[in-house]
Protein backbone atom coordinates (compact mmCIF):
# COMPACT_ATOMS: atom_id res chain seq x y z
CA UNK A 1 0.00 0.00 0.00
CA UNK A 2 1.26 3.46 -0.89
CA UNK A 3 0.41 6.18 1.62
CA UNK A 4 1.20 9.86 1.72
CA UNK A 5 3.48 10.49 4.70
CA UNK A 6 3.29 14.02 6.14
CA UNK A 7 6.74 13.50 7.60
CA UNK A 8 8.47 13.07 4.25
CA UNK A 9 5.91 14.98 2.13
CA UNK A 10 5.60 12.13 -0.33
CA UNK A 11 3.75 8.92 -1.07
CA UNK A 12 5.68 5.96 0.28
CA UNK A 13 5.29 2.22 0.27
CA UNK A 14 3.87 1.35 3.66
CA UNK A 15 6.21 -1.05 5.45
CA UNK A 16 5.32 -1.73 9.08
CA UNK A 17 8.07 -2.49 11.58
CA UNK A 18 6.40 -5.85 12.17
CA UNK A 19 4.03 -7.07 9.42
CA UNK A 20 2.37 -9.30 12.02
CA UNK A 21 1.04 -6.24 13.86
CA UNK A 22 0.54 -2.72 12.56
CA UNK A 23 0.62 -0.24 15.44
CA UNK A 24 -1.83 2.54 14.68
CA UNK A 25 -2.49 5.50 16.96
CA UNK A 26 -5.36 7.97 16.65
CA UNK A 27 -5.82 11.25 18.49
CA UNK A 28 -9.19 10.88 20.14
CA UNK A 29 -11.87 13.48 20.75
CA UNK A 30 -11.91 16.24 23.34
CA UNK A 31 -15.06 15.33 25.20
CA UNK A 32 -16.54 18.66 26.23
CA UNK A 33 -19.17 18.64 23.49
CA UNK A 34 -20.58 16.45 20.74
CA UNK A 35 -18.28 15.52 17.89
CA UNK A 36 -19.25 17.48 14.80
CA UNK A 37 -19.41 15.87 11.39
CA UNK A 38 -16.01 17.44 10.57
CA UNK A 39 -14.36 15.56 13.45
CA UNK A 40 -16.21 12.48 12.26
CA UNK A 41 -14.86 12.89 8.74
CA UNK A 42 -11.40 12.34 10.25
CA UNK A 43 -12.59 9.29 12.19
CA UNK A 44 -14.37 7.83 9.14
CA UNK A 45 -11.23 8.11 7.00
CA UNK A 46 -9.04 6.67 9.76
CA UNK A 47 -11.54 3.82 10.12
CA UNK A 48 -11.30 3.13 6.38
CA UNK A 49 -7.51 3.17 6.63
CA UNK A 50 -7.58 0.60 9.43
CA UNK A 51 -10.06 -1.60 7.57
CA UNK A 52 -8.11 -1.28 4.31
CA UNK A 53 -4.95 -2.43 6.09
CA UNK A 54 -6.78 -5.42 7.52
CA UNK A 55 -8.33 -6.16 4.10
CA UNK A 56 -4.88 -6.07 2.52
CA UNK A 57 -3.63 -8.59 5.05
CA UNK A 58 -2.11 -6.56 7.89
CA UNK A 59 -3.36 -7.26 11.41
CA UNK A 60 -3.84 -3.90 13.17
CA UNK A 61 -3.84 -2.82 16.78
CA UNK A 62 -5.36 0.59 17.23
CA UNK A 63 -5.02 2.87 20.26
CA UNK A 64 -7.01 6.05 20.87
CA UNK A 65 -6.90 8.53 23.72
CA UNK A 66 -9.88 10.43 25.08
CA UNK A 67 -8.94 14.01 25.98
CA UNK A 68 -10.86 14.40 29.21
CA UNK A 69 -8.40 16.74 30.89
CA UNK A 70 -6.70 19.91 29.82
CA UNK A 71 -6.48 20.39 26.09
CA UNK A 72 -4.22 23.33 26.84
CA UNK A 73 -1.07 23.66 24.82
CA UNK A 74 0.43 26.44 26.90
CA UNK A 75 -0.46 28.86 29.64
CA UNK A 76 -0.88 31.47 26.94
CA UNK A 77 -3.85 29.61 25.47
CA UNK A 78 -6.90 31.67 24.80
CA UNK A 79 -10.13 31.45 26.70
CA UNK A 80 -11.18 28.92 29.29
CA UNK A 81 -10.19 25.37 29.72
CA UNK A 82 -12.58 23.61 27.35
CA UNK A 83 -13.64 20.83 29.70
CA UNK A 84 -14.40 23.34 32.42
CA UNK A 85 -16.33 25.50 29.99
CA UNK A 86 -18.46 22.46 29.07
CA UNK A 87 -19.08 21.64 32.73
CA UNK A 88 -20.14 25.22 33.52
CA UNK A 89 -22.40 25.35 30.46
CA UNK A 90 -24.27 22.23 31.53
CA UNK A 91 -24.05 22.57 35.27
CA UNK A 92 -22.29 19.24 35.62
CA UNK A 93 -18.95 18.08 36.97
CA UNK A 94 -16.04 17.76 34.55
CA UNK A 95 -16.07 13.97 34.88
CA UNK A 96 -19.83 13.82 34.21
CA UNK A 97 -19.29 15.89 31.08
CA UNK A 98 -16.43 13.64 29.99
CA UNK A 99 -18.49 10.46 30.47
CA UNK A 100 -21.54 11.88 28.73
CA UNK A 101 -19.66 13.08 25.64
CA UNK A 102 -17.42 10.01 25.45
CA UNK A 103 -20.54 7.83 25.29
CA UNK A 104 -22.10 10.22 22.75
CA UNK A 105 -18.94 10.03 20.62
CA UNK A 106 -19.00 6.23 20.45
CA UNK A 107 -22.75 6.24 19.76
CA UNK A 108 -22.10 8.54 16.78
CA UNK A 109 -19.24 6.31 15.65
CA UNK A 110 -21.52 3.26 15.80
CA UNK A 111 -24.09 4.99 13.59
CA UNK A 112 -21.35 5.70 11.04
CA UNK A 113 -19.92 2.15 11.25
CA UNK A 114 -16.67 3.45 12.75
CA UNK A 115 -15.09 0.59 14.64
CA UNK A 116 -14.02 1.20 18.25
CA UNK A 117 -10.22 0.87 18.61
CA UNK A 118 -8.79 -2.08 20.53
CA UNK A 119 -7.56 0.31 23.22
CA UNK A 120 -9.40 3.46 24.29
CA UNK A 121 -7.55 5.30 27.03
CA UNK A 122 -8.94 8.33 28.86
CA UNK A 123 -6.19 10.85 29.51
CA UNK A 124 -7.10 10.99 33.21
CA UNK A 125 -6.17 7.32 33.67
CA UNK A 126 -2.47 7.78 32.84
CA UNK A 127 -1.34 10.54 35.22
CA UNK A 128 1.48 8.37 36.61
CA UNK A 129 2.82 7.80 33.09
CA UNK A 130 2.90 11.55 32.32
CA UNK A 131 4.68 12.37 35.57
CA UNK A 132 7.31 9.74 34.95
CA UNK A 133 7.84 10.91 31.37
CA UNK A 134 8.12 14.56 32.43
CA UNK A 135 10.62 13.62 35.17
CA UNK A 136 12.79 11.87 32.59
CA UNK A 137 12.54 14.78 30.16
CA UNK A 138 13.75 17.11 32.92
CA UNK A 139 16.56 14.66 33.77
CA UNK A 140 17.60 14.69 30.09
CA UNK A 141 17.59 18.50 30.14
CA UNK A 142 14.66 18.77 27.71
CA UNK A 143 12.28 19.95 30.43
CA UNK A 144 12.60 23.03 32.65
CA UNK A 145 10.59 24.54 35.46
CA UNK A 146 9.45 28.17 35.12
CA UNK A 147 6.78 30.04 37.02
CA UNK A 148 5.52 26.78 38.54
CA UNK A 149 4.99 24.99 35.20
CA UNK A 150 7.22 22.46 33.49
CA UNK A 151 8.03 23.37 29.87
CA UNK A 152 9.64 21.51 27.00
CA UNK A 153 12.70 23.29 25.65
CA UNK A 154 12.36 23.16 21.85
CA UNK A 155 15.77 24.81 21.35
CA UNK A 156 17.42 21.54 22.47
CA UNK A 157 16.20 19.74 19.35
CA UNK A 158 18.15 19.42 16.13
CA UNK A 159 14.87 19.89 14.21
CA UNK A 160 11.56 21.04 15.62
CA UNK A 161 9.30 21.76 12.62
CA UNK A 162 9.06 18.30 11.14
CA UNK A 163 5.94 18.46 9.01
CA UNK A 164 5.78 21.79 7.38
CA UNK A 165 7.38 23.35 4.39
CA UNK A 166 6.61 26.76 5.90
CA UNK A 167 9.38 28.90 7.31
CA UNK A 168 9.89 28.90 11.06
CA UNK A 169 8.85 32.53 11.11
CA UNK A 170 5.47 31.83 9.47
CA UNK A 171 4.78 29.08 11.94
CA UNK A 172 5.78 31.18 14.91
CA UNK A 173 3.25 33.79 13.83
CA UNK A 174 0.66 31.03 13.72
CA UNK A 175 1.55 30.13 17.29
CA UNK A 176 1.22 33.68 18.52
CA UNK A 177 -2.01 34.42 16.74
CA UNK A 178 -4.80 35.20 19.19
CA UNK A 179 -2.76 34.29 22.24
CA UNK A 180 -0.72 36.38 24.56
CA UNK A 181 2.93 35.46 24.95
CA UNK A 182 3.63 33.24 27.95
CA UNK A 183 6.49 35.06 29.73
CA UNK A 184 7.73 31.85 31.39
CA UNK A 185 8.83 30.27 28.12
CA UNK A 186 12.48 30.33 27.08
CA UNK A 187 11.60 29.97 23.40
CA UNK A 188 8.44 30.95 21.57
CA UNK A 189 7.56 27.35 20.66
CA UNK A 190 8.19 25.81 24.07
CA UNK A 191 5.09 24.15 25.44
CA UNK A 192 3.83 23.02 28.81
CA UNK A 193 4.38 19.44 29.95
CA UNK A 194 2.84 19.94 33.40
CA UNK A 195 0.88 22.85 34.87
CA UNK A 196 0.88 23.78 38.54
CA UNK A 197 0.50 27.53 38.34
CA UNK A 198 -1.84 28.22 35.54
CA UNK A 199 -4.01 31.22 34.89
CA UNK A 200 -6.78 28.62 34.84
CA UNK A 201 -6.73 28.41 38.61
CA UNK A 202 -10.19 26.91 38.79
CA UNK A 203 -9.12 23.78 36.85
CA UNK A 204 -11.32 21.07 38.36
CA UNK A 205 -9.01 18.07 38.16
CA UNK A 206 -5.58 18.22 39.76
CA UNK A 207 -3.09 15.60 40.82
CA UNK A 208 -0.07 15.52 43.08
CA UNK A 209 3.26 15.69 41.29
CA UNK A 210 6.93 16.36 42.13
CA UNK A 211 6.23 19.98 41.03
CA UNK A 212 3.12 20.44 43.13
CA UNK A 213 -0.60 19.93 42.62
CA UNK A 214 -1.37 20.27 38.94
CA UNK A 215 -2.38 18.69 35.67
CA UNK A 216 -0.77 17.61 32.40
CA UNK A 217 -0.34 19.63 29.22
CA UNK A 218 -2.32 18.41 26.24
CA UNK A 219 0.45 16.96 24.04
CA UNK A 220 2.03 14.73 26.67
CA UNK A 221 -1.05 12.52 26.86
CA UNK A 222 -0.78 11.16 23.31
CA UNK A 223 2.96 10.49 23.63
CA UNK A 224 2.61 8.71 26.97
CA UNK A 225 -0.48 6.72 25.98
CA UNK A 226 1.14 5.68 22.69
CA UNK A 227 4.33 4.58 24.45
CA UNK A 228 2.33 2.81 27.19
CA UNK A 229 0.52 0.57 24.70
CA UNK A 230 3.02 0.25 21.85
CA UNK A 231 6.41 0.59 23.53
CA UNK A 232 9.03 2.79 21.85
CA UNK A 233 7.72 2.69 18.28
CA UNK A 234 4.57 2.91 16.24
CA UNK A 235 3.80 2.58 12.55
CA UNK A 236 1.05 5.12 11.83
CA UNK A 237 -0.15 8.10 13.78
CA UNK A 238 -3.41 9.68 12.58
CA UNK A 239 -5.34 12.85 13.14
CA UNK A 240 -6.94 15.83 11.46
CA UNK A 241 -4.55 18.14 9.61
CA UNK A 242 -5.06 20.89 12.21
CA UNK A 243 -3.29 18.61 14.68
CA UNK A 244 -0.06 18.45 12.65
CA UNK A 245 1.08 21.69 14.24
CA UNK A 246 1.58 22.21 17.10
CA UNK A 247 0.06 19.02 18.61
CA UNK A 248 1.81 16.32 16.56
CA UNK A 249 4.96 18.37 16.20
CA UNK A 250 5.15 18.54 20.00
CA UNK A 251 4.29 14.87 20.39
CA UNK A 252 7.27 14.00 18.20
CA UNK A 253 9.55 16.45 20.01
CA UNK A 254 8.88 15.05 23.47
CA UNK A 255 8.56 11.36 22.47
CA UNK A 256 11.84 11.32 20.55
CA UNK A 257 13.61 13.34 23.26
CA UNK A 258 12.33 10.82 25.79
CA UNK A 259 13.09 7.69 23.75
CA UNK A 260 16.36 8.89 22.22
CA UNK A 261 15.34 7.58 18.77
CA UNK A 262 12.76 7.92 16.03
CA UNK A 263 9.23 7.22 17.25
CA UNK A 264 6.64 6.94 14.49
CA UNK A 265 7.28 6.25 10.80
CA UNK A 266 4.09 7.37 9.01
CA UNK A 267 1.86 10.36 9.74
CA UNK A 268 -1.61 10.26 8.22
CA UNK A 269 -3.49 13.57 8.24
CA UNK A 270 -7.08 13.97 7.15
CA UNK A 271 -7.93 17.33 5.65
CA UNK A 272 -10.85 19.39 6.82
CA UNK A 273 -14.52 19.34 6.32
CA UNK A 274 -15.38 22.95 5.63
CA UNK A 275 -18.63 24.78 5.43
CA UNK A 276 -18.97 27.62 2.96
CA UNK A 277 -17.91 29.87 5.85
CA UNK A 278 -14.67 27.95 6.58
CA UNK A 279 -13.50 25.09 8.80
CA UNK A 280 -16.18 23.41 10.86
CA UNK A 281 -15.07 23.86 14.43
CA UNK A 282 -16.25 22.75 17.84
CA UNK A 283 -15.17 25.87 19.66
CA UNK A 284 -17.17 28.10 17.27
CA UNK A 285 -20.25 26.61 18.95
CA UNK A 286 -22.35 26.09 15.83
CA UNK A 287 -21.79 22.80 14.18
CA UNK A 288 -23.55 19.81 12.70
CA UNK A 289 -23.82 16.53 14.53
CA UNK A 290 -24.90 13.07 13.42
CA UNK A 291 -28.05 13.40 15.53
CA UNK A 292 -28.93 16.61 13.75
CA UNK A 293 -28.52 14.90 10.37
CA UNK A 294 -30.80 12.11 11.56
CA UNK A 295 -33.39 14.59 12.84
CA UNK A 296 -33.45 16.06 9.36
CA UNK A 297 -34.10 12.60 7.95
CA UNK A 298 -30.61 11.76 6.69
CA UNK A 299 -29.28 8.23 6.91
CA UNK A 300 -25.79 8.34 8.51
CA UNK A 301 -24.64 5.97 5.74
CA UNK A 302 -25.23 8.74 3.20
CA UNK A 303 -22.77 10.90 5.17
CA UNK A 304 -20.24 8.07 5.22
CA UNK A 305 -20.60 7.72 1.45
CA UNK A 306 -20.27 11.51 1.10
CA UNK A 307 -16.90 11.31 2.88
CA UNK A 308 -15.71 8.27 0.92
CA UNK A 309 -16.51 9.94 -2.38
CA UNK A 310 -13.61 12.33 -1.91
CA UNK A 311 -9.96 11.82 -1.09
CA UNK A 312 -8.86 12.30 2.51
CA UNK A 313 -6.13 14.77 1.48
CA UNK A 314 -8.58 17.20 -0.10
CA UNK A 315 -10.67 19.69 1.80
CA UNK A 316 -14.29 18.67 1.56
CA UNK A 317 -17.03 21.28 1.41
CA UNK A 318 -20.20 20.44 3.21
CA UNK A 319 -23.50 21.77 1.91
CA UNK A 320 -27.00 20.34 2.12
CA UNK A 321 -27.04 20.10 -1.65
CA UNK A 322 -23.84 18.02 -1.63
CA UNK A 323 -25.27 15.77 1.06
CA UNK A 324 -28.53 15.40 -0.90
CA UNK A 325 -26.48 14.24 -3.89
CA UNK A 326 -24.83 11.63 -1.70
CA UNK A 327 -28.28 10.48 -0.52
CA UNK A 328 -29.38 10.04 -4.13
CA UNK A 329 -26.19 8.16 -4.98
CA UNK A 330 -26.65 5.89 -1.96
CA UNK A 331 -30.29 5.14 -2.75
CA UNK A 332 -29.51 4.42 -6.40
CA UNK A 333 -26.68 2.11 -5.41
CA UNK A 334 -28.85 0.22 -2.95
CA UNK A 335 -31.74 -0.15 -5.40
CA UNK A 336 -29.38 -1.56 -8.05
CA UNK A 337 -28.01 -4.04 -5.51
CA UNK A 338 -31.56 -4.94 -4.44
CA UNK A 339 -32.29 -5.99 -8.03
CA UNK A 340 -29.48 -8.58 -8.01
CA UNK A 341 -30.47 -12.23 -7.51
CA UNK A 342 -28.50 -15.11 -6.03
CA UNK A 343 -28.23 -16.97 -9.33
CA UNK A 344 -25.76 -19.75 -8.76
CA UNK A 345 -22.06 -20.09 -8.14
CA UNK A 346 -19.58 -17.23 -7.91
CA UNK A 347 -17.31 -16.96 -10.94
CA UNK A 348 -13.91 -16.95 -9.23
CA UNK A 349 -12.13 -15.31 -12.14
CA UNK A 350 -14.63 -12.48 -12.49
CA UNK A 351 -14.60 -11.96 -8.73
CA UNK A 352 -10.78 -11.76 -8.64
CA UNK A 353 -10.75 -9.17 -11.45
CA UNK A 354 -13.25 -6.95 -9.62
CA UNK A 355 -11.40 -7.35 -6.33
CA UNK A 356 -8.09 -6.39 -7.84
CA UNK A 357 -9.53 -3.05 -9.05
CA UNK A 358 -10.76 -2.35 -5.55
CA UNK A 359 -7.40 -3.27 -4.01
CA UNK A 360 -5.57 -1.05 -6.46
CA UNK A 361 -7.72 1.89 -5.39
CA UNK A 362 -6.94 1.29 -1.71
CA UNK A 363 -3.26 0.80 -2.44
CA UNK A 364 -3.09 4.17 -4.19
CA UNK A 365 -2.94 6.32 -1.04
CA UNK A 366 -6.37 5.15 0.11
CA UNK A 367 -8.18 6.44 -2.95
CA UNK A 368 -11.69 5.89 -1.67
CA UNK A 369 -13.38 7.70 -4.55
CA UNK A 370 -11.71 5.23 -6.92
CA UNK A 371 -12.81 2.42 -4.60
CA UNK A 372 -16.41 3.65 -4.98
CA UNK A 373 -15.90 3.65 -8.77
CA UNK A 374 -14.74 0.03 -8.46
CA UNK A 375 -18.04 -0.66 -6.69
CA UNK A 376 -20.02 0.86 -9.59
CA UNK A 377 -17.90 -1.25 -11.96
CA UNK A 378 -19.19 -4.35 -10.17
CA UNK A 379 -22.77 -3.41 -11.05
CA UNK A 380 -21.81 -2.92 -14.71
CA UNK A 381 -19.62 -6.02 -14.95
CA UNK A 382 -20.38 -8.81 -17.42
CA UNK A 383 -20.77 -11.58 -14.90
CA UNK A 384 -23.58 -13.27 -13.00
CA UNK A 385 -25.37 -11.63 -10.07
CA UNK A 386 -23.93 -14.07 -7.50
CA UNK A 387 -20.40 -12.90 -8.39
CA UNK A 388 -21.49 -9.27 -8.13
CA UNK A 389 -23.10 -9.84 -4.75
CA UNK A 390 -19.95 -11.59 -3.51
CA UNK A 391 -17.78 -8.66 -4.64
CA UNK A 392 -20.09 -6.13 -3.01
CA UNK A 393 -20.04 -8.06 0.28
CA UNK A 394 -16.26 -8.19 0.07
CA UNK A 395 -15.77 -4.45 -0.65
CA UNK A 396 -18.17 -3.52 2.09
CA UNK A 397 -15.78 -4.99 4.67
CA UNK A 398 -13.79 -1.79 4.06
CA UNK A 399 -16.44 0.67 2.89
CA UNK A 400 -18.88 -0.39 5.62
CA UNK A 401 -21.89 1.22 3.95
CA UNK A 402 -24.35 -1.53 4.99
CA UNK A 403 -24.96 -2.16 1.30
CA UNK A 404 -26.39 -5.67 1.45
CA UNK A 405 -28.48 -5.01 4.57
CA UNK A 406 -29.96 -1.87 3.00
CA UNK A 407 -30.72 -3.77 -0.23
CA UNK A 408 -32.41 -6.54 1.74
CA UNK A 409 -34.50 -3.99 3.67
CA UNK A 410 -35.48 -2.33 0.40
CA UNK A 411 -36.58 -5.65 -1.11
CA UNK A 412 -38.63 -6.42 1.99
CA UNK A 413 -40.38 -3.05 1.72
CA UNK A 414 -41.32 -3.59 -1.94
CA UNK A 415 -44.64 -5.39 -2.67
CA UNK A 416 -43.96 -8.92 -3.75
CA UNK A 417 -45.18 -9.78 -7.23
CA UNK A 418 -47.18 -12.94 -6.80
CA UNK A 419 -46.96 -15.71 -9.35
CA UNK A 420 -50.11 -17.73 -10.17
CA UNK A 421 -50.09 -19.49 -13.58
CA UNK A 422 -53.88 -19.81 -13.79
CA UNK A 423 -54.52 -16.13 -13.17
CA UNK A 424 -51.59 -15.20 -15.44
CA UNK A 425 -53.22 -17.31 -18.18
CA UNK A 426 -56.61 -15.61 -17.72
CA UNK A 427 -54.93 -12.21 -17.84
CA UNK A 428 -53.12 -13.17 -21.05
CA UNK A 429 -56.45 -14.39 -22.53
CA UNK A 430 -58.05 -11.02 -21.65
CA UNK A 431 -55.19 -9.14 -23.28
CA UNK A 432 -55.62 -11.33 -26.43
CA UNK A 433 -59.40 -10.74 -26.44
CA UNK A 434 -58.84 -6.99 -26.20
CA UNK A 435 -56.31 -7.19 -29.02
CA UNK A 436 -58.99 -8.98 -31.14
CA UNK A 437 -61.50 -6.31 -30.14
CA UNK A 438 -63.58 -9.03 -28.49
CA UNK A 439 -64.80 -6.71 -25.71
CA UNK A 440 -67.45 -9.11 -24.44
CA UNK A 441 -64.84 -11.82 -23.82
CA UNK A 442 -62.46 -9.32 -22.24
CA UNK A 443 -65.20 -8.13 -19.88
CA UNK A 444 -66.21 -11.67 -19.05
CA UNK A 445 -62.66 -12.54 -18.03
CA UNK A 446 -62.43 -9.38 -15.95
CA UNK A 447 -65.65 -10.30 -14.12
CA UNK A 448 -64.48 -13.84 -13.59
CA UNK A 449 -61.23 -12.59 -12.05
CA UNK A 450 -63.17 -10.12 -9.92
CA UNK A 451 -65.35 -12.92 -8.64
CA UNK A 452 -62.14 -14.67 -7.59
CA UNK A 453 -61.04 -11.55 -5.70
CA UNK A 454 -58.51 -10.43 -8.34
CA UNK A 455 -58.23 -6.84 -9.48
CA UNK A 456 -56.67 -6.01 -12.86
CA UNK A 457 -54.34 -3.02 -13.04
CA UNK A 458 -53.53 -1.68 -16.49
CA UNK A 459 -50.00 -0.22 -16.52
CA UNK A 460 -47.64 1.12 -19.17
CA UNK A 461 -45.85 -2.24 -18.97
CA UNK A 462 -49.08 -4.13 -19.66
CA UNK A 463 -51.83 -5.55 -17.44
CA UNK A 464 -50.92 -6.70 -13.91
CA UNK A 465 -53.08 -8.13 -11.17
CA UNK A 466 -53.36 -8.02 -7.42
CA UNK A 467 -55.58 -9.63 -4.82
CA UNK A 468 -58.30 -7.37 -3.53
CA UNK A 469 -58.33 -6.83 0.21
CA UNK A 470 -60.96 -8.99 1.87
CA UNK A 471 -63.35 -6.83 3.88
CA UNK A 472 -63.32 -7.73 7.55
| Residues lying near Zn ion in the complex (CB under 5 A) | 27, 222
Choose among ligand AMP, Zn ion, none what residue 222 binds, the Cβ cut-off being 5 to 8 Å by kind.
Zn ion
Is 307 one of the binding residues for ligand AMP (CB under 6 A)?
Answer: no
Closer to ligand AMP by Cβ: residue 209 or 310 = 310
- What residues does 122 pair with on adjacent strands? 66
> CA–CA separation, 299 vs 362, rounded Å?
25
CB of 66 to ligand AMP, least distance (A): 9
Closer to ligand AMP by Cβ: residue 206 or 282 = 282
Choose among Zn ion, ligand AMP, none what residue 41 binds, the Cβ cut-off being 5 to 8 Å by kind.
ligand AMP
CB of 402 to ligand AMP, least distance (A): 23
Closer to Zn ion by Cβ: residue 234 or 400 = 234
| Residues 211 to 240 in contact with ligand AMP, rule: CB under 6 A | 239-240
- Work out whether strand 119-122 and strand 60-66 pair parallel, antiparallel, or are unpaired: parallel
Neighbouring C-beta atoms of residue 47, cutoff 10 Å:
25
Closer to Zn ion by Cβ: residue 27 or 374 = 27
End-to-end CA distance of the chain: 64
Which one among 5, 6, 42, 113 touches ligand AMP, defined by CB under 6 A? 42
> CA–CA separation, 182 vs 168, rounded Å?
19
Which one among 5, 14, 24, 41 touches ligand AMP, defined by CB under 6 A? 41
CB of 126 to Zn ion, least distance (A): 13
Question: HSE on the CB side for 318, CA within 13 Å?
Answer: 25
CB of 64 to ligand AMP, least distance (A): 10
Is 209 one of the binding residues for ligand AMP (CB under 6 A)?
Answer: no
CB of 271 to ligand AMP, least distance (A): 7
- What residues does 64 pair with on adjacent strands? 26, 120
Closer to ligand AMP by Cβ: residue 248 or 357 = 248
Which one among 243, 249, 367, 387 touches ligand AMP, defined by CB under 6 A? 243
Closer to ligand AMP by Cβ: residue 219 or 272 = 272
Closer to Zn ion by Cβ: residue 73 or 403 = 73
Choose among Zn ion, ligand AMP, none what residue 280 binds, the Cβ cut-off being 5 to 8 Å by kind.
ligand AMP
| Residues 260 to 289 in contact with ligand AMP, rule: CB under 6 A | 270, 272-273, 279-282
Q: Which residue is nearest to ligand AMP, using beta carbons?
A: 240
x/- mask, ligand AMP, residues 1-40, rule CB under 6 A, reads --------------------------x-xx-------xx-
CB of 273 to Zn ion, least distance (A): 19
Closer to ligand AMP by Cβ: residue 222 or 407 = 222
Q: How many residues contact ligand AMP, by CB under 6 A?
A: 19
Those residues with Cβ within 8 angstroms of residue 286's Cβ, 6 or more apart along the chain or in another chain = none
Closer to Zn ion by Cβ: residue 127 or 308 = 127
Q: Which residues contribute to the site for ligand AMP (CB under 6 A)?
A: 27, 29-30, 38-39, 41-42, 67, 239-240, 242-243, 270, 272-273, 279-282
Amino acid sequence: MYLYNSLTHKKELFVPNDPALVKMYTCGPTVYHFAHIGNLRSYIMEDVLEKALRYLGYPVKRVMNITDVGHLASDADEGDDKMLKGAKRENKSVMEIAKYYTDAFFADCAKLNIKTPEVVEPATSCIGEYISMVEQLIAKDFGYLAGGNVYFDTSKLAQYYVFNDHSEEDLAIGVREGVEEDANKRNKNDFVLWFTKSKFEDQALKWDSPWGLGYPGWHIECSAIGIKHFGGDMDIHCGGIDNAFPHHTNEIAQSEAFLGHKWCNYWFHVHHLNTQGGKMSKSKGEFLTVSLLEQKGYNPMAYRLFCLQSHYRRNLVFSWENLDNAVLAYEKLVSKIAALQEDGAVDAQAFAALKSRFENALNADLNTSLAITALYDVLKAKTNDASKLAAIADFDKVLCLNLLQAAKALRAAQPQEEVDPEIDALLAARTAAKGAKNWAEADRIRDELKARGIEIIDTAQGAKWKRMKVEE
